[in-house]
Chains A and B, each alone.
Chain A
């Protein structure tokens, strides 16, 4: 595959409401390879671009179940199989007390899954991304709202897409070098 000469077109908006309106319009026009860049999480944008599905919860559930099994297994194995200690005649398989450390390992592994799962699904650490080539993009972490229609999208056309984005009230539309 040859290297494309363009990552996409980046439209800059000054107000959050403008971005939400534009995101709805872009999605309705059939563009799917679209991403928005906002200084804070915006539910409305996720809904507009139909990005509201995250795989993080499944990973957290798996992490929690693993932690539960690992914590319980460790205690059972250490107290019953490997090193049974008779302390005042109490049972080796003292399951009620195993609940406490098992709870802690469940939370621990679920939290690790949440964080590292989120980082992995987002592809972090990612030192390079084309949008950083646009000088004004630094404002995406301050007070500007961006919408990027990527060149890979089948409907993408350099001229028509640009005109379309400008028609949505973008303050500026710039080409993103790959």
Chain B
């Protein structure tokens, strides 16, 4: 299968374009291949197995959250001083994963990176589902979310209370809810022309009606394309600063506190880079099995995977710069508490998590310097999995090791996750994967209309 890599007819910098799609494809073959994944009546057995596993985990989430709502957050291992633990670690991990989807769909669109085209749709779906998982955590962390809404959402309530806008937690509500809404809009707008394709290709009457309603009457009119392309480009332009703002605001949740290990000015850029890093690892984690299972090697080529490996390397270096600066500033500040914080991170009770983090995020991505590893699907998948773990550990290190020993030794403590902590996390993996399995079954996982634009047949100059 690896032999199906796109033909490279010259050095990329020499001016010859590398086609980001396998040879021999036309408008018709691309349309039929991607649409057939959805419109087929034969669902692959592997889909059922994967869905069953994911759905089981989703039910675990139901139990874990149900029990939490009955008993309260005491079922988790949290207590003072570690009042924020796995729930916040998971929140930041999930929201970070989402960022790659927006980067691919918006920033790479503005930068005219052709290779984004075959991965943007499912990366955007990944964003939405990751944000859904992330958004759950702060809400269930309140223990009784039904009484907690008034200090998060500005709405006229019977108590006459309004949120404190000087708190970064409120900024988070605005940033994350805007991000979720705009990501959903971007994804839905991108789907409209493809839904029309599915409407026109569906044999089944119900499918025709459902896709027809969702397509809203799209017919590819030039007048519509004019408005559509303008709106799409503007959405990309709006999403670009938005995505940077979201993880910046998430980092403010920490950076604005005075706790050693949190109170650092490097947090915003370091969090944004970490988010893109984590997100690309997750895109690789999803793309590699997806292209294999559905035979999409012509569309998600080895070149795509290699590019993602390069992004992984670049962002890992930024993240490592963040780690270095944290350690340097702790020493350079001359503050006892800062110096102790970094020493405690390395050699304290949770020291193992710091070294594991360095193994995952500093050492492992260095393999991506070598073409041999960047072009090996197995290695890419392995590195991506290690990075997924590494980025989870990064947030664990930031949240838990900073909190557990602050200024006063008399208020130190330890935190151990309980079964319910892990069950909630595993449960959100189930929610994410369940949504993803449903998505690849009922919607085109690759943007069909955008794929048409990068085909050789769409090149008017070559014809003329």
Asked if A and B bind, the verdict is yes
Chain B 227-250: CB-based contact to A (< 8 A → 1; otherwise 0): 111110011001101100100010
Number of interface residues, chain B, beta carbon within 8 A? 67
The residue that A98 contacts in the complex, of B165, B197, B242, B458, with Cβ under 8 A, is B165
Please measure, in the bound complex, the distance between the C-alpha atom of A79 and the C-alpha atom of B256, giving whole angstroms: 20
Please measure, in the bound complex, the distance between the C-alpha atom of A87 and the C-alpha atom of B167, giving whole angstroms: 11
| Any A CB within 8 A of the CB of B221 | yes
| Any B CB within 8 A of the CB of A6 | no
Q: Are B227 and A56 in contact (CB under 8 A)?
A: yes
Q: Are B449 and A17 in contact (CB under 8 A)?
A: no
Q: Are A54 and B226 in contact (CB under 8 A)?
A: yes
Pick 14 A–B contacts, CB within 8 A, sort by A: A53-B226, A75-B165, A78-B163, A83-B160, A85-B164, A94-B166, A101-B171, A103-B241, A111-B181, A115-B231, A117-B231, A124-B217, A128-B217, A129-B217
Number of interface residues, chain A, beta carbon within 8 A? 70
Please measure, in the bound complex, the distance between the C-alpha atom of A20 and the C-alpha atom of B199, giving whole angstroms: 26
Q: Are A36 and B221 in contact (CB under 8 A)?
A: yes
Q: Are B226 and A111 in contact (CB under 8 A)?
A: no
Known: A114-B238, A115-B235, A125-B217. 4 other contacts (CB 8 A): A35-B222, A112-B181, A114-B235, A140-B220
Whole-angstrom distance between the Cβ of A7 and the nearest chain B Cβ: 13
Q: Are A119 and B216 in contact (CB under 8 A)?
A: yes
Please measure, in the bound complex, the distance between the C-alpha atom of A120 and the C-alpha atom of B210, giving whole angstroms: 21
Chain A 127-166: CB-based contact to B (< 8 A → 1; otherwise 0): 1110110000111111100000000000000000000000
Q: Are B231 and A45 in contact (CB under 8 A)?
A: no
Q: Are A125 and B216 in contact (CB under 8 A)?
A: yes
Chain A 96-108: CB-based contact to B (< 8 A → 1; otherwise 0): 0110110111011
Taking Cβ atoms with an 8 Å cutoff, the residues of B that contact A are 26-28, 31-32, 154, 160-166, 168, 170-171, 174-175, 178, 181-182, 185-186, 188-189, 193, 196-197, 199-201, 212-213, 216-231, 234-235, 238-239, 241-242, 245, 249, 252, 449-450, 452-453, 457-458, 460, 463-464
Please measure, in the bound complex, the distance between the C-alpha atom of A71 and the C-alpha atom of B177, giving whole angstroms: 14
Q: Is the interface of B mostly helix, strand, loop or mixed?
A: helix
Q: Are B221 and A37 in contact (CB under 8 A)?
A: yes
Q: Are B27 and A17 in contact (CB under 8 A)?
A: no
Please measure, in the bound complex, the distance between the C-alpha atom of A87 and the C-alpha atom of B368, giving whole angstroms: 50
Q: Are B193 and A108 in contact (CB under 8 A)?
A: no
Q: Which residues of A contact B453 (CB under 8 A)?
A: 40-41
Q: Are A74 and B200 in contact (CB under 8 A)?
A: no
Q: Are B222 and A83 in contact (CB under 8 A)?
A: no
| Any B CB within 8 A of the CB of A39 | yes
Q: Which residues of B contact A128 (CB under 8 A)?
A: 217
Please measure, in the bound complex, the distance between the C-alpha atom of A151 and the C-alpha atom of B223, giving whole angstroms: 17
Please measure, in the bound complex, the distance between the C-alpha atom of A119 and the C-alpha atom of B235, giving whole angstroms: 14
Q: Which of A17, A55, A129 has the most CB of B within 10 A?
A: A17
Please measure, in the bound complex, the distance between the C-alpha atom of A78 and the C-alpha atom of B153, giving whole angstroms: 12
Q: Are A97 and B165 in contact (CB under 8 A)?
A: yes
Q: Are A15 and B222 in contact (CB under 8 A)?
A: no
Whole-angstrom distance between the Cβ of B407 and the nearest chain A Cβ: 19
Please measure, in the bound complex, the distance between the C-alpha atom of A94 and the C-alpha atom of B175, giving whole angstroms: 19
Closest residue to B224 on the A side, CB-wise?
A122
Q: Which of A38, A41, A124 has the most CB of B within 10 A?
A: A41
Please measure, in the bound complex, the distance between the C-alpha atom of A136 and the C-alpha atom of B451, giving whole angstroms: 22
Whole-angstrom distance between the Cβ of B32 and the nearest chain A Cβ: 8
| Any B CB within 8 A of the CB of A177 | no
Whole-angstrom distance between the Cβ of A80 and the nearest chain B Cβ: 10
Closest residue to A59 on the B side, CB-wise?
B231
Closest residue to A45 on the B side, CB-wise?
B222
Q: Are A57 and B234 in contact (CB under 8 A)?
A: yes
Q: Are A49 and B242 in contact (CB under 8 A)?
A: no
Please measure, in the bound complex, the distance between the C-alpha atom of A132 and the C-alpha atom of B221, giving whole angstroms: 12
Please measure, in the bound complex, the distance between the C-alpha atom of A112 and the C-alpha atom of B178, giving whole angstroms: 10
The residue that A17 contacts in the complex, of B218, B227, B460, with Cβ under 8 A, is B460
Please measure, in the bound complex, the distance between the C-alpha atom of A66 and the C-alpha atom of B463, giving whole angstroms: 47
Q: Which residues of A contact B460 (CB under 8 A)?
A: 16-17, 20, 44
Whole-angstrom distance between the Cβ of B399 and the nearest chain A Cβ: 22
Chain A 41-67: CB-based contact to B (< 8 A → 1; otherwise 0): 110111001011111110010000000
Whole-angstrom distance between the Cβ of B39 and the nearest chain A Cβ: 13
Q: Are A132 and B219 in contact (CB under 8 A)?
A: yes
Please measure, in the bound complex, the distance between the C-alpha atom of A125 and the C-alpha atom of B215, giving whole angstroms: 8
Q: Are A37 and B220 in contact (CB under 8 A)?
A: yes
Q: Which residues of A contact B162 (CB under 8 A)?
A: 78-79, 82-83
Whole-angstrom distance between the Cβ of B451 and the nearest chain A Cβ: 9
Please measure, in the bound complex, the distance between the C-alpha atom of A87 and the C-alpha atom of B170, giving whole angstroms: 15
Q: Are A143 and B227 in contact (CB under 8 A)?
A: no
Q: Are A142 and B166 in contact (CB under 8 A)?
A: no
| Any B CB within 8 A of the CB of A168 | no
Q: Are A54 and B230 in contact (CB under 8 A)?
A: yes
Whole-angstrom distance between the Cβ of A44 and the nearest chain B Cβ: 6
The residue that A101 contacts in the complex, of B170, B219, B228, with Cβ under 8 A, is B170
Q: Which residues of A contact B449 (CB under 8 A)?
A: 39-41
